[in-house]
Amino acid sequence: MGDPVAPRGGLEGMAALVTGGGSGIGLGCAVRLARDGAHVTICGRSEDRLAKGAEAIRAAAAPGVQVQWIAADVTREEQVEAAVKKAAALTGRIEAVIASAGGADWLGPVTQLPLDAWRRVLSVNVDGTFLALKHAAPVMVRGGGGSFVGISSIAGARPHRWFGAYGPAKSAIEALCLMAADELGASGVRVNAVRPGLVATDLTVAMTAIPAIRDDYLAQMPLGRVGQVEDIAALCRFLVGPEASWITGQVIGSDGGHALRRGPDFSPILEGAWGKEGLRGGPPKGAAG
């Protein structure tokens, strides 16, 4: 049968930009694109991660593929614009963008969610995806077309209690991609979103290390395993490639079937901090009153 991850090609000569490409899903996507022949530019906030990521991409890349990186905070418009310009400089075009930068840094009851945490999570996820689209799409239009993929989450489709702004932010990414697909289709630019479930990355180590959380996640997945970055990279590779030339305006899940059931139960790790009443919107644990 052969190696299922052996180079297959099909993206030769294409120029791609991957935000959040220094680690996790973004890095996995960048590796897959370069393996199949695309010139890849990655961006992110950590220069150390980007440099190490670029090494991993080059090690997997097809012959002749160019790999470069640029430090960029996706919440800063001028930095995103610079990343797009650098990606386009390789060939004069950009045919693919995967907007993978995102994440969250706060868990707890919505009634206790600080406004600055709400805004911070929305900014890195929604603003970051919007800015990548805003600046890359015109380059694609001038070049005759391209494919943009926003990275959402199952949390954007199924309620994930106590995830704060993360679920709303991912829902917004999906809405943005659908709107952009309708606007840009006439120019040959396809826009889709991918909705991963629980994927093994540095950001999810804490979740999968706690048996009660890991087991509850797995209980919600008909396929019964944690996803790998390669699972998401394969879907993104398909969406930016010629095989998906008639696909736009779609939100496609890769989650082991998790969307068929419910979001995870994080109460085992949050009750200790907030208390049962606090998780229900009442006074948090230890509050005076």
Domains with residue ranges and CATH for the chain: 15-279 (3.40.50.720)
Q: What is the pLDDT along the chain (289 residues), one digit of tens a residue?
A: 344 444 469 999 999 999 999 999 999 999 999 999 999 999 999 999 999 999 999 999 999 999 999 999 999 999 999 999 999 999 999 999 999 999 999 999 999 999 999 999 999 999 999 999 999 999 999 999 999 999 999 999 999 999 999 999 999 999 999 999 999 999 999 999 999 999 999 888 888 889 999 999 999 999 999 999 999 999 999 999 999 999 999 999 999 999 999 999 999 999 999 999 999 999 998 886 5
Q: Which two tokens stand for residue 125?
A: 């996820």
Q: Which residue has the tokens 């380059």?
A: 139
**This prediction's pTM:** 0.95
Note the pLDDT of residue 8.
64
Q: Which two tokens stand for residue 245?
A: 């030339």
Note the pLDDT of residue 203.
84
Please report, for residues 8, 89, 134, 147, 269, the alpha-carbon distance to residue 163 in angstroms, rounded to integers and kept in the order given: 38, 39, 28, 30, 13
Indicate if 217 belongs to the active site.
no
List pLDDT tens digits, range 180-195. Answer: 999 999 999 999 999 9
Q: Which strands form 39-44's sheet, in the order they lie side by side?
A: 67-71, 39-44, 15-19, 96-99, 146-151, 189-196, 251-254
Can you tell me the distance from the alpha carbon of 287 to that of 1, in angstroms, rounded to the nearest whole number? 61
Note the pLDDT of residue 289.
53
Sequence letter at residue 285: K
Closest CA to 98 of 178, 152, 57: 152
Note the pLDDT of residue 7.
47
The one catalytic residue among 130, 162, 166, 238: 166
